[in-house]
Structure formats: C-alpha cells, structure tokens
C-alpha cells in the first residue's frame, strides 16, 4: 500500500483522530498502517465507544449490551482479522425464533438456517418448515423478498411501514418475520425506518449468500474485544490517549487544526495536526463544530444537517440465575417486549480458559443471560423494577425452567442514545467524510457510510475518512474492502 505521509514536522502527528469508537479505531488503524503518524484522543478510559463493557459498580460484574455482527459486515470482519479480535467472535449458522407458551401449549421453536440449496434459496427449506408462520404468511414474505432480489432502493424516502402495506404483508408475517429482523437490526419502528435500509438488511443477509447471513457474537466483553483493535493501532505506531475529552477545536493561523483537552487539573493540553478526523456521534460533532466561528465553512455546511438526526434507545436486562434455563446460545423472542435473549454464560464460555480476574462471570455456578429490547422508547419512562418485573414474567413463557430458577443478581441498562434512526429521507443529510474548507474529516456510523447505525457502518465511515485524508495528501490508498460476492444463482441476478 502507498505510504500516506510527507506532511509533517518532526513531532507533530499527521492526523489527529477524536473518538476511539469503531469509526475512530478503523481510521487510526488504516492511516497508521499506511505509514501516517496518528494521534487518537478518547474521552473515556477505554476504546470501543458505544460497544463497551464495564464493571457494574453495584454488582461487581462485567456487563455490556450484546452487539452482534453478520457475515456481510466485511469491513468490521476485516478490522477484527487484522487485529486478532476475530478469534473472539462466535459464528452461528442459524437463528432460533421462539413463540411464547399458551395456556395449552409449550413454547414453539422455529429455526431459520442455510441449507443445501443455492442462494437466494439457501434459507428456503428451513423457512418452509418454520411453524411460526402459515403458508399464506410465507408466500407473502417470499413475494416481498423477491423485491429485494436484485438489490434495494437507492432512494430512502419510503418508510418501511408503507412498503409492508404496499406488498400486502399479513399481520403474522409482520410480527413473526419482518419485525424481529428490522427492529433488531435498524433499532426503530417501521415508520421511522426507510425501506432502503430494511431492503439492504434482507438483500445482504438473507438473499445474496449464506455467508452474508452468518450471525457473529463477540465472546469477550466488548471493551476487551475492541481493546485488541486499539492495541493493534498502537503496535502500528499510533498514539492513543485515553481520558482525553476534547473541549474545543479550532483552525490556527498556520492552517493547522488544534484540539483542546482539559488536563483535569484546571489546565489544558493542546494537540495540533494538519488533518483532523472527528469520529464522534452526531451530537458530539455538533458540539465541537458549534465552537468554530460562525462563518467557518465547516460549521456553516455541516451543523445545519445535524439537526435532522434523532436517536433511538435500547434497553438491556441482565440476569444471573442459579441454574441454566435454556440450552440455546441466543434466540429471537416473538410477541413480547423482550425481543432477543443472549445466553452470555454460554457465549463467553469460549473465553473461560483465558479469563482475566476482571471478567469473571457472576457467582460460582450462576448463569448469566441478557435480554434486549430494541427501539425501547416505551421503557425510557419506566422504572428499572417495572422493566425487570415485566421482562421476567415474559421470560417464563419462553423458558419454563425459569419458573424454578432464582434470580441472584440483576441489572437494567438503558442506552438512551444507542443509535441514530435511519428515518425516511435522512440520507441526503448524512455528510460525506470530507468537510468543506480543508483538512477536516468526518467519521461515525451516522455519516454517509452506505449502512445503517451499526459497527459495520462505523468501520466503513472510518475507512472512508482515512481514504479522504490520503486523497488530501495526494495519495490514492484504498482502505474499504468490498462486500461479499453473490453466491449460487445470485451470481446471475
Ligand atoms: C445498546 C446498543 C446495542 C447495539 N447493538 C449493536 C449490534 O448488535 N450490532 C451493531 O452493529 N451495532 C450495534 N449498536 C450500534 C453500534 O454500537 C454503533 O453503531 C457503533 O459502535 C458506533 O461507532 P462510532 O465509532 O460511530 O461511535 P461511538 O461508538 O459513539 O464512538 C465515539 C467515541 O467518541 C468518544 N467521544 C465523544 N466525545 C468526545 C470528545 N469530546 N473527545 C474525545 N472523545 C469523545 C466517545 O467516548 C466514543 O468512544 C448498538 C449500540 C448500542 C448502544
């Protein structure tokens, strides 16, 4: 790869990156790997951004909000491969959907998994067998999926709710198929998700290839997982500073960018570089841009766009039980508020031999499970005890053994600003990586990454910003890796 260099004085970095989430890490790894001197400033004491884990102070347990990836997340997978983090991803070829028990029937399982048929029909046999849907629902879904066979809309104006109506989806097809997948991946209601991104999810993960739909779960707590990416960046020569929250940015008369960080003792530390990458959530980007002079081109062009973005929350419920209540590692739970169950003891058991004391797993013999409520707008106004109560009531309907189990510890985690919503029409406000006015670059899942609010979107944005930095220095380095090729009959479609 061409070197991205030739820009600096002896001690000054070529590039300052602010924010060590997936986007900032991806930009830092790309640029430092290509020979640029990079300094990365992060407000928190760890890397990973919103994909983080921490020791819950009251429980003394390491918790995180489970993040999953799919095989089609090629840039994230590539970043993990480079840094060695990929050894800590568990891959699954099937997703189990559970229906709750009814008065006269126990919970029912449907499993969607790739079989022998070539793409796009690889899931067809398991789909046809799935008892959660009737034949009429399945034929509606199949007709709907056919619309995403060749791709997905390039325009993002149509809400997915309108598409469901337009394609005559049945009530059960919506509840048992479209909803768990769309709300789980795009984290908002159908009205607030565009058909473009819903279509992308189904095209990439359901139709294009079996590999694209593989379901990956980090088996380490997330800060450990992304810690490996951060260490890889450092091994390539990047300098990472934690607890370095940037208070303001400005352009000096020399044309250099300066970021001002409080030193925690009443003073400030100034970092300067010819290029600045803001790899922050949109609201933090807005805060720093608002400190620039009113007539600065970066502020004038980017700031007005940011008011178009909105957040959507995710709530997770963490339970330590005195016994195992399911042999499943994960499952989609239908007809409930708690949409996904992750069996963290099983998922993390891959790590048990190399476990550090900080990542212990609850009282001896206990079983840790996590329940996820995506788009949890309703839960924001509820007390943790209320959420816990209704979640455990619902859980018993899926896992009868739960009725005998004792809850040893529990926690409810509300992430109010979990993701930005891919609301219809938002694409035209998602900025590209180059900000006008010179040497300021934007990254973050919310920028024009071509993906919704995901780790893959964040990594893509970081790599795109790195490419833009390279271009600004007359270099043509490419950091983005392509998506998975179509498989089976999709090659001819
Ligand atoms: C509960 C939850 C569940 C999720 N589940 C999934 C999932 O299953 N799959 C998936 O793909 N995605 C998931 N996501 C979304 C995913 O976490 C994000 O899309 C992705 O991590 C965004 O990365 P980013 O680098 O763009 O931003 P961030 O991760 O927000 O990183 C920004 C970084 O900037 C730092 N920062 C902010 N301000 C400053 C400042 N002034 N100075 C210095 N540093 C600063 C922050 O501390 C942070 O580290 C989930 C998110 C949440 C919250």
Condensed to tens digits (0 to 9), the pLDDT of residues 66-83 reads 999 999 999 999 999 999
pLDDT confidence of 363, banded at 50, 70, 90? low
Q: Each residue of 245-266: pLDDT tens digit? A: 999 999 999 999 999 998 888 8
Q: What's the confidence (pLDDT) of residue 362?
A: 60
Average the pLDDT over 14-32 and give the result. Answer: 98
CA of 174 to the centre of ligand 1 (A): 29
Q: What's the confidence (pLDDT) of residue 46?
A: 96
- The topology (CATH level 3) of 311-420 is Polyamine Oxidase; Chain A, domain 2 (3.90.660)
- Please determine, for residue 8, whether its predicted confidence score (pLDDT) is greater than 80: no
Residues 6+ apart with CB under 8 A from 298: 289, 292, 435, 436, 437, 440
Q: Would you state the structure tokens that stand for residue 462, as one six-digit string?
A: 């970081």
User: What b/e string do you get for 249-273 counting C-beta neighbours within 10 Å, with b at 16 or more?
Assistant: bbbeeeebbbbebeeeeeeeeebbb
Q: Would you state the structure tokens that stand for residue 442, as one six-digit string?
A: 């934007």
CATH class of 15-50+223-310+423-472: alpha beta
Q: What is the mean pLDDT of the chain?
A: 94
Q: Would you state the structure tokens that stand for residue 12, as one six-digit string?
A: 């000054």
Q: What's the confidence (pLDDT) of residue 6?
A: 41
Average the pLDDT over 7-35 and give the result. Answer: 89
- Domain(s) of CATH 3.90.660.10: residues in the chain: 311-420
Q: Among 181-185, 265-269, 304-308, which is the least confidently predicted range?
A: 265-269
- Please determine, for residue 352, whether its predicted confidence score (pLDDT) is greater than 80: no
Average the pLDDT over 474-492 and give the result. Answer: 94
The CATH number of 94-213, from 1.10.260, 3.30.160, 1.25.40, 1.10.3110, is 1.10.3110
- Please determine, for residue 2, whether its predicted confidence score (pLDDT) is greater than 70: no
CA of 122 to the centre of ligand 1 (A): 33
* DSSP-assigned states of every residue in 328-350: -SEEEEPSSS--EEEEHHHHHGG
User: Which residue would you say has higher pLDDT here, 134 or 363?
Assistant: 134
pLDDT confidence of 116, banded at 50, 70, 90? very high
Q: What's the confidence (pLDDT) of residue 361?
A: 57
CA of 49 to the centre of ligand 1 (A): 4
- Please determine, for residue 485, whether its predicted confidence score (pLDDT) is greater than 90: yes
Q: Each residue of 194-216: pLDDT tens digit? A: 999 999 999 999 999 999 999 99
Report whether the peptide linkage leading into residue 120 is cis, meaning its omega lies within 30 degrees of zero: yes
Please give the number of the atom of ligand 1 that sits closest to the Cα of 76.
Answer: 11
- Please determine, for residue 459, whether its predicted confidence score (pLDDT) is greater than 80: yes
Q: Each residue of 136-158: pLDDT tens digit? A: 999 999 999 999 999 999 999 99
Q: 23, 29, 67: which to mutate for ligand 1, most atoms within 8 A of CB?
A: 67
> No. of H helices and E strands in the chain?
14, 20
- Please determine, for residue 470, whether its predicted confidence score (pLDDT) is greater than 60: yes
126 contacts 113 by C-beta, under 8 angstroms: yes
Q: 16, 18, 19: which to mutate for ligand 1, most atoms within 8 A of CB?
A: 19
Average the pLDDT over 224-251 and give the result. Answer: 97
CA of 478 to the centre of ligand 1 (A): 24
Average the pLDDT over 235-244 and give the result. Answer: 97
Average the pLDDT over 442-470 and give the result. Answer: 98
Please give the number of the atom of ligand 1 that sits closest to the Cα of 417.
Answer: 53
Q: What's the confidence (pLDDT) of residue 275?
A: 97
Residue of the CA atom closest to atom 49 of ligand 1:
49
Q: 280, 431, 448: which to mutate for ligand 1, most atoms within 8 A of CB?
A: 280
Mapping DSSP onto H, E and C, the string for 415-426 reads: EEEEEECCCCCH
- Please determine, for residue 421, whether its predicted confidence score (pLDDT) is greater than 70: yes
- Domain(s) of CATH 1.10.3110: residues in the chain: 94-213
- Beta-strand ranges (E) seen in 322-403 are 330-333, 340-343, 367-374
Q: What's the confidence (pLDDT) of residue 1?
A: 34
Q: Would you state the structure tokens that stand for residue 395, as one six-digit string?
A: 């859980």
Average the pLDDT over 266-278 and give the result. Answer: 95
- Domain(s) of CATH 3.50.50.60: residues in the chain: 15-50+223-310+423-472
CA of 137 to the centre of ligand 1 (A): 36
Average the pLDDT over 363-385 and give the result. Answer: 93
341 contacts 100 by C-beta, under 8 angstroms: no
Q: Strands 215-218, 89-92: parallel, antiparallel or unpaired by DSSP?
A: antiparallel
pTM of the prediction? 0.96
pLDDT confidence of 336, banded at 50, 70, 90? very high
Q: Which residue, chain included where needed, has tokens 């896992």?
A: 399
CA of 203 to the centre of ligand 1 (A): 25
Cα–Cα dist 308/116, whole Å: 45
């Amino acid at each position: 790869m061409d070197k991205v260099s030739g820009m600096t004085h002896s001690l000054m970095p070529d590039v300052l990156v602010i924010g060590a989430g997936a986007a900032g890490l991806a930009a830092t790894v790309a640029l430092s790997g290509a020979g640029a001197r990079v300094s990365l400033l992060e407000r928190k004491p760890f890397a990973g951004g919103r994909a983080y884990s921490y020791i819950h102070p009251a429980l003394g347990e390491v918790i995180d909000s489970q993040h999953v990836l799919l095989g089609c997340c090629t840039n994230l997978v590539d970043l993990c491969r480079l840094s060695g983090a990929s050894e800590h991803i568990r891959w699954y070829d099937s997703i189990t959907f559970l229906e709750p028990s009814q008065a006269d029937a126990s919970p029912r399982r449907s499993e969607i998994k790739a079989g022998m048929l070539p793409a796009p029909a690889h899931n067809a046999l398991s789909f046809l067998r799935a008892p959660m849907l009737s034949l009429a629902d399945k034929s509606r879904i199949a007709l709907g999926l056919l619309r995403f066979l060749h791709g997905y809309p390039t325009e993002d104006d149509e809400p997915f709710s309108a598409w469901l109506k337009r394609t005559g989806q049945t009530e059960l097809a919506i509840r048992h198929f479209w909803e768990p997948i769309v709300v789980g991946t795009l984290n908002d209601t159908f009205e607030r998700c565009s058909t473009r991104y819903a279509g992308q999810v189904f095209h990439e993960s359901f139709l294009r290839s079996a590999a694209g739909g593989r379901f990956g779960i980090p088996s380490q707590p997330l800060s450990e997982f992304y810690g490996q990416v951060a260490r890889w960046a450092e091994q390539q020569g990047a300098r990472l500073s934690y607890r370095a929250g940037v208070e303001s940015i400005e352009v000096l008369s020399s044309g250099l960018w300066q970021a001002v960080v409080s030193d925690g003792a009443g003073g400030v530390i100034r970092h300067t570089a010819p290029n600045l990458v803001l790899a922050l959530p949109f609201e933090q980007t807005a805060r720093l841009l608002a400190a620039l002079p009113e007539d600065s081109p970066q502020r004038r062009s980017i700031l007005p766009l940011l008011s178009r973005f909105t957040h959507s929350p995710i709530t997770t419920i963490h339970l330590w039980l005195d016994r195992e209540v399911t042999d499943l590692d994960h499952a989609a739970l239908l007809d409930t508020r708690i949409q996904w169950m992750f069996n963290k003891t099983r998922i993390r058991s891959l790590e048990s031999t190399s476990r550090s004391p900080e990542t212990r797993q609850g009282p001896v013999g206990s079983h840790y499970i996590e329940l996820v409520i995506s788009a949890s707008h309703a839960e924001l106004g509820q007390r943790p005890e209320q959420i816990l109560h209704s979640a455990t009531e619902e859980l018993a309907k899926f896992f009868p053994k739960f009725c005998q189990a004792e809850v040893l510890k529990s926690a409810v985690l509300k992430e109010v600003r979990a993701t930005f919503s891919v609301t219809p029409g938002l694409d035209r406000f998602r900025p590209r990586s180059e900000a006008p006015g010179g040497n300021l670059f934007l990254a973050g899942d919310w920028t024009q990454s071509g993906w919704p609010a995901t780790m893959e979107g964040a990594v893509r944005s970081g790599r795109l910003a790195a490419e833009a930095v390279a271009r600004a220095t007359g270099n043509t380095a490419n950091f983005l890796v392509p998506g998975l090729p179509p498989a089976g009959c999709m090659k001819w479609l």
